[in-house]
Structure 1
């Protein structure tokens, strides 16, 4: 199926979107390892924050993102955010109770009734076996009447310790769910898909535009920020209602969204909106602390009720509950009082922000943006020639690819376009795809790539056993992730650079396995040119480098990086320069012996080593006329 990729709506905005979102996605991937191990509660926190910022960016930068993919991306990222929600809440609550005990509990020596738990008698988490009196080996739940211990503790400690143990137990129980959620996210390959798309978007934008400071970028930032400010102000009337918990919670979310939007667009403005972001962080912190109090105020009574029921089930009566009631009631009262204090602090902060003219200053700043120093050399970018490397038919020859990309970089190429057939015949199919991805090469799929992914060899085609072996080897030595990446490539893509429309495809715009080279009739090229809507058409497939112009359309066959067929075994690629326009083919020597030894070590047919060492086609060497 042929899929045309549309140019970005605004190259500058697209580049800024990519450069903003890529660090968030890379951070998400790194933090997931810590989520699995649970060594530090900050892993869950940072992962959750990253997912929220990514979701915000999916909305903010939607004009540059593929509409057919945004919905799935947003749903997948939202799922991991929700999966981490309870764990993060428990981590925060455990940390709070730990610190609350340290700050507020002062132990004194006294005899106290031992409260129950789900633990076996004599193995209570708060008391050692030596401290337990009156518990025999044959005691049954419900038969215990009085358990006493001597221990130095504040009367509030047992209730808080009980709550802490329950929270820790719950956190431990849900940890496997977090591991499953992280695994599910990786199985979707959504982060990799987003990273791949954004890298491509960034490269396209860089060669199409240059600076990130376009009128569209600032207009979109202004509208997004002003809309978020308006949403936040909608909750201002509820600041006069201290008990309106729901609206205060929604205001917290609105403040957080505004902060995320400011952070996303901060690179467009001088000083990065640091003062404004800091102000919203303070506002969000107060609202967040209020929300935490609201959670405790709601949950502590429910916890008290649950523990009463638990005491009755375990002992047959609720008397033992009295030992933990003091601490829980004290915690509840503390959180209610703190909630009142925070509400007053919110009023003071909000009034201060207003009195200092913060809102007017912010709106003035985003209405009249100064030029950003995102990249100091952006201003000169549009005056420089654009040089693009054109490659094709790598055929799993990693040494050749490495040499070509190094040479292209040395010659000043700002981007690399790959016309397909990246795997097959060579010994490094997985390594080549990984190298293309890590080098952010823009690629289309080739006919040989498709044949491998579709397991064409199982149908008995091609007839050559050597070619069947090549396809089988390539498929079996591709990772699942790289198969997914390869299968997601389109048959063609288009770029517009300095007013020049460029089309990249493997064979021709009509057929993926059509040869366009020196032997193609001019009438056929003219037929293609009339309907291609392109100024330059870049192809591969024939492994024979050529440059031809028909009317105003330039046809460039890149030749082959990894399997040349013109008698010159050196790798071949092309350099396209715009402003002024020029195309030149480049031959690059590489370590052929390394490629040959790898093919021999992996027991690939000897005819393949002759192809790359002699620069001849398989059919010339084997005498077969069997298409791939």
Structure 2
């Protein structure tokens, strides 16, 4: 089977990327006008949302974007997001305090509440001239005391009004900075550069005949969505810790990113993923309200301390401070109580989402196109069993990979899942990664892949010179594009096919270099099965094929495509069939002499040629341990 590489920039995916990003850029330019005028707080909000969606798109659509420009584009868009951060926070806080006052504070006497600045105090009967002379000098906007005078008013209101005025003063003070940030963005010409490039990209894709719903587009959607889901579930244990505000905040960010990714790829799906986007919006809102409460709980005591110091500085006594303390204390207590309520609401919402089968339905939707990634033109027959090829540990052995994929295709496989360690030891690291990409193989990253990318041969002191040479060769013979692709792979991904939940990871779900094979204690497999939320767990790493079942969970170790270690030098992979379920390992002969000749021509250690020709581990060949 001859290696024929498809173009890196899939025309259909490029067209979809352009059509998704162009409206966001045009919206950003329009909203910046409103940011300058500050007529409506929603301008800042919509601008930040547009920049965040663009940043998500720059990541998920990177295969179609110019690598030399992405870094600058991302940095520029990120800078505008950050420059609007404080303004948006203040807008939200001002709106909340205004609403809180109107809903929770009642002025029974309906009397007017007056504010007095320091220069008016000498003329007011409540404060003497001596008190005024004790004031300090602070140029910060809104730093002067705000004094109140009325015969009868709610004791909570002055403190809240004081806080509201401070927030408004600060917001007014930073408005010129927002104008400068908008001007800086225009001077960079980044939005115009992006718009120009995307227009050209769209036209070029249309000329090349790209349609929106290409298999590559669905593959990218699947990988991005499943990675984001995995990141969100990482925070699930902290739902049992009500005081762990940092992890709850990070979970909010993960939910937001997942929602942006769903929105970006929604056009690929007939349903538009509307239900899923709405669900994540609800989850994000609850987590966002919790975060707002956490901010208030941290902010109010600091504000109380500042106002107390300010009162002493101006008057030399705490009398004035006692006027505003009540309302601030009430607000603090309110936010603490609301935080508890929201945490309980989060539990109810999370449990409801799970009980309604939301995750299974979402995975089924995004996994469906990925099931047919390996057949020509995506021809689908939903009445036939689904057959998926399971591969792992290719270790840069291109002849073995070509033979395995050809055999899997001949046997009816419609998709290929790769459990990692695609490079290292063999002579074809770049060719293997390109071939996996052009064949639409869905891959996770392995521990050896990570070691190569992190240049572990420089810092980790490998146990042998052979391993050091293998890592260095793999890194130096990977193109920059393929390094970026490999580094972007997740440590695991999940699919749901024909009602079956499938988890793919290199080692174990807990540890990337843990062996799961026929030697793993059943107690350990049971421990993994209990928390994995999967019906089938697919792994590699050990280079030893195995199939084991524990508590209705099937553990499948794929063996190794390019570097077997059980004495059989033929390439090994597994065929998984669903509906009905079956798993079988397959041995495939390949042109080993071609792999050996390439190793020799590229001056790789002789022990490597013995490993693949004899089907033995590096440990057996050289007497050194080999954790890869």
Please state which band the TM-score falls in when normalised by the shorter chain: 0.5 to 0.7
**Contact 1:270 / 1:371 at 8 angstroms: preserved in 2?**
no
The superposition leaves residues 323-371 of structure 1 with CA deviations (integer Å, 9 ceiling, x where unpaired) of: 0000000000000000000000000000000000000000000111499
Whole-Å separation in 2 of the counterparts to 1:126 and 1:118: 13
Q: Once structures 1 and 2 are overlaid, which stretch shifts more, 466-475 or 284-293? A: 466-475
Q: Once structures 1 and 2 are overlaid, which stretch shifts more, 335-344 or 100-109? A: 100-109
1:432 Cα offset (Å): 47
1:209 Cα offset (Å): 2.1
Whole-Å separation in 2 of the counterparts to 1:70 and 1:381: 39
**Contact 2:463 / 2:625 at 8 angstroms: preserved in 1?**
no
Residue 225 of structure 1: aligned partner: 225
Whole-Å separation in 1 of the counterparts to 2:479 and 2:359: 52
Secondary structure at 1:54's aligned position in 2?
helix
**Contact 2:373 / 2:415 at 8 angstroms: preserved in 1?**
no
Q: Once structures 1 and 2 are overlaid, which stretch shifts more, 294-303 or 1-10? A: 1-10
1:226 Cα offset (Å): 0.3
1:175 Cα offset (Å): 0.1
**Contact 1:141 / 1:315 at 8 angstroms: preserved in 2?**
no
Whole-Å separation in 2 of the counterparts to 1:5 and 1:450: 24
Whole-Å separation in 2 of the counterparts to 1:542 and 1:355: 36
1:150 Cα offset (Å): 2.7
Gaps of 5+ in 1: none
Q: Once structures 1 and 2 are overlaid, which stretch shifts more, 21-30 or 309-318? A: 309-318
Relative to 1, partners in 2 of residues 1:322 and 1:483: Cα closer, same or farther, differing over 3 Å?
same
Gaps of 5+ in 2: none
Whole-Å separation in 2 of the counterparts to 1:174 and 1:51: 20
Whole-Å separation in 1 of the counterparts to 2:591 and 2:337: 74
Relative to 1, partners in 2 of residues 1:18 and 1:389: Cα closer, same or farther, differing over 3 Å?
farther
Whole-Å separation in 2 of the counterparts to 1:297 and 1:23: 38
1:537 Cα offset (Å): 53
- TM-score, normalised with respect to structure 1: 0.55
Q: Once structures 1 and 2 are overlaid, which stretch shifts more, 418-427 or 49-58? A: 418-427
Whole-Å separation in 2 of the counterparts to 1:616 and 1:244: 49
Relative to 1, partners in 2 of residues 1:475 and 1:378: Cα closer, same or farther, differing over 3 Å?
closer
**Contact 1:134 / 1:146 at 8 angstroms: preserved in 2?**
no
- TM-score, normalised with respect to structure 2: 0.55
Whole-Å separation in 2 of the counterparts to 1:340 and 1:535: 35
**Contact 1:4 / 1:492 at 8 angstroms: preserved in 2?**
no
**Contact 1:48 / 1:81 at 8 angstroms: preserved in 2?**
yes
Whole-Å separation in 2 of the counterparts to 1:270 and 1:525: 39
**Contact 1:566 / 1:616 at 8 angstroms: preserved in 2?**
yes
Q: Once structures 1 and 2 are overlaid, which stretch shifts more, 389-398 or 319-328? A: 389-398
1:149 Cα offset (Å): 3.2
**Contact 2:215 / 2:378 at 8 angstroms: preserved in 1?**
no
Whole-Å separation in 2 of the counterparts to 1:620 and 1:111: 90
Q: Once structures 1 and 2 are overlaid, which stretch shifts more, 351-360 or 375-384? A: 375-384
**Contact 2:219 / 2:373 at 8 angstroms: preserved in 1?**
no
Q: Once structures 1 and 2 are overlaid, which stretch shifts more, 509-518 or 99-108? A: 509-518
Answer yes or no: is 1:374 the counterpart of 2:363. no
Residue 285 of structure 2: aligned partner: 285
Answer yes or no: is 1:138 the counterpart of 2:138. yes
Aligned residues: 628
Whole-Å separation in 1 of the counterparts to 2:76 and 2:538: 36
Q: Once structures 1 and 2 are overlaid, which stretch shifts more, 152-161 or 611-620? A: 611-620
Whole-Å separation in 2 of the counterparts to 1:128 and 1:140: 24
**Contact 2:142 / 2:169 at 8 angstroms: preserved in 1?**
no
**Contact 2:375 / 2:415 at 8 angstroms: preserved in 1?**
no
Q: Once structures 1 and 2 are overlaid, which stretch shifts more, 420-429 or 187-196? A: 420-429
The superposition leaves residues 194-216 of structure 1 with CA deviations (integer Å, 9 ceiling, x where unpaired) of: 00000000000011123111111
1:153 Cα offset (Å): 2.3
Q: Which has the larger radius of gyration?
A: 1
1:322 Cα offset (Å): 0.3
**Contact 2:266 / 2:272 at 8 angstroms: preserved in 1?**
yes
1:271 Cα offset (Å): 1.5
1:219 Cα offset (Å): 0.6
Whole-Å separation in 2 of the counterparts to 1:29 and 1:81: 13
Whole-Å separation in 1 of the counterparts to 2:428 and 2:236: 62
1:379 Cα offset (Å): 14
Relative to 1, partners in 2 of residues 1:307 and 1:48: Cα closer, same or farther, differing over 3 Å?
same
Whole-Å separation in 1 of the counterparts to 2:148 and 2:495: 80
Whole-Å separation in 1 of the counterparts to 2:244 and 2:532: 62
Q: Once structures 1 and 2 are overlaid, which stretch shifts more, 369-378 or 543-552? A: 543-552
**Contact 2:219 / 2:369 at 8 angstroms: preserved in 1?**
no
1:154 Cα offset (Å): 1.1
| Match runs of 1:605-624 below 5 Å | none
Whole-Å separation in 1 of the counterparts to 2:386 and 2:16: 20
Q: Once structures 1 and 2 are overlaid, which stretch shifts more, 230-239 or 570-579? A: 570-579
Whole-Å separation in 1 of the counterparts to 2:181 and 2:498: 45
1:319 Cα offset (Å): 2.1
The superposition leaves residues 31-89 of structure 1 with CA deviations (integer Å, 9 ceiling, x where unpaired) of: 00000000000000000000000000000100000010000000000000000000000
RMSD: 18.0
Relative to 1, partners in 2 of residues 1:108 and 1:208: Cα closer, same or farther, differing over 3 Å?
same
Q: Once structures 1 and 2 are overlaid, which stretch shifts more, 124-133 or 385-394? A: 385-394
Whole-Å separation in 1 of the counterparts to 2:122 and 2:336: 36
**Contact 1:535 / 1:553 at 8 angstroms: preserved in 2?**
yes
Residue 26 of structure 1: aligned partner: 26
